[in-house]
Chains A and B, each alone.
Chain A
Amino acid sequence: MSFESNIREELAKILGKEWVKDDSVTLYTYRCDGLTLYTAPPMGVVFPGAVQELVSVVKLLHKHKISFIARGAGTGLSGGAVPQDESVIIEMARFKEVHEVDWINRTITVDPGVINLRITEDVQSQGYHYAPDPSSQKACTIGGNVAENSGGPHTLKYGVTVNHVLGVEMVLPDGELIKLGGKHLGMPGPDLLGLMIGSEGTFGIITKIICRLTPNPEKAVTMLGIYKSVHDACESVSSIIRHGIIPAAMEMLDKIVISAVEKALKPGFPLDAEAVLIVELDGLADGLDAEAEIVEKLLKESGATTVNRARDEVERDKIWRARKEAFGAIGQISPSYYVQDGVIPRSKLPEVLNEISAIGKKHGLTVANVFHAGDGNLHPLILYDYENPEEVEKSHKIGEEILSSCIRHGGTLSGEHGIGIEKAEWMKDLYPGNSLDNMQNVRTFFNPENLLNPGKLFPQPGRCAESKSGTPPRNATVLDKSKMVASKSGIAV
């Protein structure tokens, strides 16, 4: 499908011909984001370059009841930017201006298409950074981060996106431009900004973001504990937390991931270890070494065979690059992988990890683990061969069993990758009773006709039954998941 000619003309009038694309090759490359398991082509892709253009595009699509979806760098892992119902993709990559750095209020105002890492690069000479640091930070956009409420290794101490965004400007699905929050702190009334952050692009399209800047810690100590068993590494995590220490980050990599990152990036992790635990402490220089001594002792007591400390920035960068690019490095050892993002209470780590490994064994596939151990956010990577339909099938089963294990142990579906299309059906299991209905009512308030990013975040009821959402979009079809079988080129990441 492509644009109807009158729609195409009207879009071209707003944006200029070159920024309205619906040729088959464009549609092909925009049919998936970081999750390639479910592909679906958009009706077309438009590239607005200014807020007014975006507003006009949204008003036009709203008038014609055509559904649409905003997309940043397309690094998301839950299919949040995969168009359902042949929605129109509004590509936000051209919004990449950094507007204002306000040192007194410690804020930076940016366009949504600005890359996460770019913010830190812009302010680091003044001793500041933007705290949420998702592993994809060198490519993902800040707009996508707000939509997904992204985290990252350092959120253990510093919090996630919602703790670092003070205000947004956004376009509602009918084209109205609104502002939520601002440079000031505290807002009376219900926290609409908080609602917006993490709504996975279903409430509105963000056009400007006021981010909080965080002073760089005076000093950081990065340690690497080496373990003979994953269980011991989990014990270390518990032990540190039990002692009242909150490290800036605590990340675990198991043997399989170690072998992949060693192949790709050579950070110098021992290949015979069953697990390594990265522990980073930061803060005032005074006292940090003493705290590091305590942590080192705790790590050793709970089973670390060796504890190494990064001697300089180069060594520290090496460790972090290995952690942050671990997913990609899996490409070195497996043709495809499927990553889950379940969260469990920290105390359940050893138990659930055992269970995950047993689930993998039962189905005959390898499950590798690299995750934010400090906040119990797992990232089991199910390794499979996409050309083997049996393995594709198994990878789905394993994913499902892992998720139900997380829920059973009092955890949740996603720590940071979002629900997207991938886990929408699971929301029923997570929220029994009427809480899910209430959440949908909130979405309906912002997005009454479900024109914006349909098919995401919430399970899809039969369309005609969806009375709360008004008339379905013109291009809506009843979502048929059986048609969304892993496409041949589908590799899940």
Chain B
Amino acid sequence: MNINFSQKTAVSAKELFRLAEFDNILKCVHCGLCLESCPTYRELDDEKDSPRGRLYLMRGLWEGALELRQSVVEPLSRCVNCRACESACPSGVPYGELLEKTRGIIFENTTQSFKERVLRRLLLKGLFRSTSLMITASYLLKIYATTGLPKLITKTFVGKLFPRSFVFQQHLLPNFSGKSFKLKYADEVISSEVSEKIKPYTGPSGKSKRLKSKPRVGMFSGCIMDVSEAAIHESTLTLLHHIGCEVVVPGNQVCCGAIHVHSGDRETARELALKNLVAFEPRHLDAIITNAAGCGAQLKEYNLLFSKETSEAKKGVRSTVNWQDFEKKIIDVLEFLSRYPKLLEKLSWREDEDTVLYDAPCHLIHAQKVDENPRQLLNNLPGVTLVPLKESDWCCGSGGIYNLVHPELSGAVLKRKTESIRQALTTNPNATNIITGNPGCLYQIRAGIRSENIDLHILHPVVYLAGRLKKNES
């Protein structure tokens, strides 16, 4: 994307950064241990496109050595924000937080090109913020898919008439349902008939507000996920039922705002955060379940949008909310299920042998630091052998809408992922499925295996899990 822009204010970059609680930048000691973990550095081989280089640029802005110019902003916008560098960093530099704050400053203080402004208005302020628009778009795209046009473009010579990125985008299209999941179940308490008494889930905090026999959990449905890939939410619901949860799907919940935060639109993200707080807070939930690693990571970090002494607070933002209580309840569905090994054991699972490949979403492993439990949960299923990809902790290039904004670089990163998949298939030729717990990665990897004609199905882990239940169970 063209990011022609000019700075809007006369205020120096230094002053803008000093207002943004940016002191954590000092944690970086420039050791370079992050370099090899960075997908864009591995592709571009350029220091300014490495985590260390980008931090050095941010530091330069913070110190006043650099100003907000296009040449400084470009490498910062080329980051996928996979946060693998955070896992590699021995100094505990909160890279994601610093990058997102920087992008916020860039977004608020520079004037973007016309094209960029239109795109942002349509997507960030429009589509992702509105459930009804989302449903309409989903419906239209569903019709588009049934016309066979995407297939015509990807499978025949017709594709040659279009740019390659457009052809790839046809592969990327989610399976839209044309219906909203959250409106389908809005505000019912969905309970199961499992009779066994189980201990209530006490939440990561260890305190339980409701002393009932069944844990009550909320389900976060997201924006695109709410109107596509229906099997993922339905399977999540099924599994939660099977371990005896009461499930609430608040109808007034909205997009998590991750896409906004990644592109710097923190104002809209704050608006969405507060709406989600209002949607979930009064329901007396023991946990809020997410099945999208990217959303989970964002929901767990809402407090960063509302830092105390920033210019952000001065704008009258409700910064008094104690986000800790909300954030503590957020938990990935796999991590949640793995807390109930005994209940899972009691369910009747299929026992046929199956080898399944696994890819860890960056925002699960690097941002949420959740890795081992989901893998063990899957590997412990009767008959199942889980084979993590070589570099399963490596980004696939999806990055929210990164694959639309930087199609070439994203494609290069994806290529490395499909290579790992090919390699895993040579040693495990009987594997028919690959699973990954983030919809963005699912779309991206699916597009990768489709465009390279790799014979493999991609599934969300919950869909795979639900499929391993014996028929009468599900």
Contact A74 B32 (CB under 8 A): yes
Residues of chain A within 8 A (CB-CB) of B48 are 25-26, 28-29
Cβ–Cβ < 8 Å partners of B28 in chain A:
331
Which listed residue, B35, B46, B91, touches A328 by the CB 8 Å rule?
Answer: B91
Let me know if A75 and B32 touch, CB within 8 A: yes
Task: For residue A145, give the distance in angstroms from its CB to the closest CB of chain B.
Answer: 14
Closest partner residue, chain A, to B33 (CB atom): A139
Q: Are A328 and B57 in contact (CB under 8 A)?
A: no
B47 adjacent to A74 (CB under 8 Å): yes
Query: When A and B form their complex, what is the total count of cross-chain residue pairs whose Cβ atoms lie within 8 Å?
Result: 111
Q: Tell me the chain A residues, 108-139 only, with Cβ under 8 Å from chain B.
A: 115, 136, 138-139
Determine how close the nearest CB of chain A comes to the CB of B347; give it in whole angstroms.
Answer: 30
Chain A residues positioned under 8 Å from B88 (CB to CB):
138
Interface residues of A in 140-177 (CB under 8 A from B): 140
A25 touches B47 (CB 8 A): no
Q: Are A138 and B36 in contact (CB under 8 A)?
A: yes
B93 at the A interface (CB under 8 A): yes
- Interface flag for B159 (CB, 8 Å): no
| Cβ 8 A contact of A331, one of B27, B32, B57, B66 | B27
> Nearest chain-B residue to A117 (Cβ)?
B36
Q: Please determine whether A493 and B29 come into contact, CB atoms closer than 8 angstroms.
A: yes
Distance in angstroms from A313 CB to nearest chain B CB is 15
* Known contacts A29-B53, A493-B31; A328 and B90 CB within 8 A of each other: yes
| B24-45 interface (Cβ within 8 A of A) | 26-36, 45
* Closest CB in chain A relative to B227 CB, distance in Å: 40
Interface of A is mostly: loop
Q: Is the CB of B89 within 8 A of A328?
A: yes
Mark the stretch among A51-59, A182-190, A209-217, A332-340 that contacts chain B: A332-340
Q: Smallest distance from the beta carbon of B58 to chain A beta carbons, Å?
A: 11
- Taking a contact as CB atoms under 8 Å apart, the answer to whether B31 and A47 are in contact is no
Residue of B nearest to A493 (CB): B29
Query: What CA separation (Å) do A148 and B36 show in the bound complex?
Result: 20
- Kindly state whether residue A356 has any CB partner on chain B within 8 Å: no
- Whether A29 contacts B90 by the Cβ 8 Å rule is no
B31 and A75 within 8 A (CB): yes
Report how far A74 CA is from B53 CA in the complex, Å: 11
What is the CA–CA distance of A331 and B33 in the complex, to the nearest angstrom?
13
Residues of A within 8 A of B32 (CB): 33-34, 73-75, 136, 139-140
Q: Contacts A331-B28, A489-B60: A24 and B71 contacting too (C-beta < 8 A)? A: yes
**Interface residue tally on A, bucketed by range:** 35 or more
Q: Could you tell me if B71 and A337 are in contact, using CB atoms closer than 8 angstroms?
A: no
**A331 CB to nearest B CB, Å:** 3
If the complex has contacts A74-B47, A91-B45, A136-B32, are A23 and B90 also in contact, measured as CB distance less than 8 A? Answer: no
CA distance A30 to B63 in the complex (A): 17
B31 touches A328 (CB 8 A): yes
Residues of chain B contacted by A488 (CB below 8 angstroms): 63, 65
Instruction: Report how far A316 CA is from B388 CA in the complex, Å.
Output: 23
Known: A23-B71, A75-B31, A489-B59. A331 touches B90 (CB 8 A): yes
Min CB distance A417 to B, Å, is 12
- Are the C-beta atoms of B34 and A34 separated by less than 8 Å? no
Q: Inside 8 A of A400's CB, which chain B residues have their CB?
A: none
Smallest CB separation, A31 vs chain B (Å): 9
Is there contact, CB below 8 Å, between A491 and B36? no
Contact of A336 among B29, B33, B72, B74 (CB under 8 A): B29
How many angstroms between the C-alpha atoms of A236 and B176 in the bound complex? 67
A325 near B: Cβ within 8 Å? Answer: yes
Q: Please indicate the chain B residues that have their CB under 8 angstroms from the CB of A491 in the complex.
A: 26, 29-30
- A175–B31 Cα distance when bound, in Å, is 32
A17 within 8 A of B: no
Nearest B residue (CB) for A32 = B30
Q: Mark B84-126, 1 if CB is under 8 A from A, else 0.
A: 0000111111000000000000000000000000000000000
Residue-wise interface mask of B (49-68) relative to A, using a CB-CB cutoff of 8 A (1 in contact, 0 not): 00001001101100101100
Q: Are A29 and B56 in contact (CB under 8 A)?
A: yes
- Smallest Cβ distance from B183 to chain A, in angstroms? 45
Question: For residues 25 through 73 of chain A, which have their beta carbon under 8 Å from a beta carbon of chain B?
Answer: 25-26, 28-30, 32-34, 36, 47, 73
| B75, CB-defined interface residue at 8 Å | yes
Beta-carbon nearest neighbor of B65 in chain A: A489
By a CB distance below 8 angstroms, the chain B residues around A94 are 45
Asked if A327 is an interface residue, CB under 8 A from chain B, the answer is: yes
Q: Which A residues touch B63, using CB under 8 A?
A: 488-489
Query: Is residue A1 contacting chain B, with contact meaning CB distance below 8 A?
Result: no
Distance of A448 Cα from B299 Cα, bound (Å): 61
CB–CB A325/B30 < 8 A: no
> Chain A nearest CB: distance from B261 CB in Å?
24
Q: Indicate if A264 sits at the interface (CB-CB under 8 A).
A: yes
Verify if A485 is at the interface (C-beta below 8 Å from B).
no
Cβ 8 A contact of A29, one of B33, B35, B47, B91: B47
A residues in contact with B65, CB < 8 Å: 28, 488-489
Which one of A36, A138, A264, A328 has the highest number of Cβ atoms from chain B below 10 Å of its Cβ? A328
Query: With the chains together, A73 CA to B27 CA distance in Å?
Result: 20
B31 touches A136 (CB 8 A): yes
Q: Shortest CB–CB separation between residue A43 and chain B, in angstroms?
A: 16
Q: Is the CB of B36 within 8 A of A327?
A: no
Most A CB within 10 A of own CB, among B30, B48, B60, B72: B30
Closest to A328 in B: B90
- Which of B32, B35, B56, B66: most chain A Cβ within 10 A? B32
Any chain B CB within 8 A of the CB of A220? no
Q: Is the CB–CB distance between A139 and B36 below 8 Å?
A: yes
**Nearest Cβ on chain A to B394's Cβ, whole angstroms:** 14
Bitwise interface map of A from 334 to 369 toward B, beta carbon under 8 Å scored 1, else 0: 011100000000000000000000000000000000
CA of A47 to CA of B71 in the docked complex: distance in angstroms?
19
Q: Are A330 and B47 in contact (CB under 8 A)?
A: no
CA distance A140 to B133 in the complex (A): 50
Contacts of A75 in B (CB 8 A): 31-33, 35
In the complex, whether A451 has a CB less than 8 A from a CB of chain B is: no
Is A265 interfacial (CB 8 A cutoff)?
A: yes
Beta-carbon contact of B36 and A115 below 8 Å: yes
Q: Which of A446-465 contact B (CB under 8 A)?
A: none
Known: A26-B48, A489-B65. A325 touches B92 (CB 8 A): no
Interface residue A93 (Cβ < 8 Å from any Cβ of B): yes
A329 contacts chain B at the CB level, 8 A cutoff: yes
User: Taking the nearest CB of chain B, how far is it from the CB of A485, in angstroms?
Assistant: 15
Q: Shortest CB–CB separation between residue B210 and chain A, in angstroms?
A: 33
* Contacting residues, chain A, for B60 (C-beta < 8 A): 28, 489
- Closest A residue to B47 by beta carbon equals A29
Q: Which residue in chain B gives the minimum CB-CB distance to A336? A: B29
B56 surroundings in chain A (CB, below 8 A)? 28-29, 489
Which residues from chain B contact A265 at a C-beta distance below 8 Å? 90
- In whole angstroms, what is the CA distance A140 to B52 when docked? 14
Q: Are B75 and A25 in contact (CB under 8 A)?
A: yes
* A27 (CB) vs chain B CBs: closest residue: B48
Q: Mind listing 25 A-B residue pairs with CB under 8 Å? A: A21-B46, A23-B71, A34-B31, A36-B30, A91-B45, A115-B36, A138-B88, A139-B32, A264-B90, A325-B33, A325-B90, A328-B31, A328-B33, A328-B89, A328-B90, A329-B91, A330-B29, A330-B91, A331-B26, A331-B27, A331-B90, A337-B29, A488-B65, A491-B26, A493-B31
Given contacts A23-B71, A25-B48, A488-B63, 14 further A-B contacts (CB under 8 A): A25-B75, A29-B53, A32-B30, A47-B46, A75-B35, A91-B46, A93-B45, A139-B36, A325-B90, A328-B90, A331-B90, A331-B93, A489-B59, A489-B63
- A-B pairs with lowest CB-CB distance, top 10: A331-B91, A328-B90, A325-B90, A93-B45, A75-B32, A29-B48, A29-B53, A25-B71, A331-B27, A29-B47
A residues bordering B, Cβ < 8 Å? 21, 23-26, 28-30, 32-34, 36, 47, 73-75, 91, 93-94, 115, 136, 138-140, 263-265, 325-332, 335-337, 488-489, 491, 493
Interface residues of chain B, those whose CB is within 8 Å of chain A, are 26-36, 45-48, 53, 56-57, 59-60, 63, 65-66, 71-72, 74-75, 88-93
